Structure 1
Amino acid sequence: MVFGRDSESGSPRYGSGGMSRIIGGSPLGVIVRLALLCVIVGLVLDQLHLDAFELFRWAMDALEDLIRNSADVLKLIGRYFLIGAMVVIPVWIVLRVLRVGSGRR
């Protein structure tokens, strides 16, 4: 219940509902805090001569570089995996065959 009574003080409790728990407080209070934060961040970014679209473009370029570089890393890891598997798998098979042949498990 959003407007319930606190059992200890008898005062109304605001923000005890599901929506208030999800967003972190009363909806109006959260909207006011977010609006104030947006104005402050906008002012700081403007003073630093940073454009939101430029920041977005930078983030997209960084994500693109990350994907491109991670593909190269995955290729390298795959290559190392295949080279190692060419040695490890036959050795493992030989050891399993020898272990089964000796009667141990």
Structure 2
Amino acid sequence: RGPPEPTEPAEPAASAELGGSDDVRGPGGLSERDRAVLAVERRGWPGPGAKERAIREQLGISPTRYYQLLGALLDDPRAAEHDPVTVNRLRRIRAAKREHREG
């Protein structure tokens, strides 16, 4: 019986797709992956499936993980400093959805 086999991460590292570690902080204190998530969200998407495909291909993560990261970014003041237009727009959309569910 040998040493245990190393386990693969649940998601491929986005850093491989982005050319660096997602722990590397850039201007404003956001990681390269955080900035890439905001950039994907900033784009317009032509139809269903295109955004999810881009998330997988460009970021190397699942759409579910993408939306988890995006949700955390909306609560991060560094994200609002980096891209206030996108973050504030998404915060308004999130607040409207919450209000609709509760109301």
Report the TM-score, using the length of structure 1 for normalisation. 0.23
Report the structure number with the largest CA radius of gyration. Answer: 1
More helix by share: 1
By relative contact order (CA 8 Å, sep 6+), the higher-ranking structure is 2
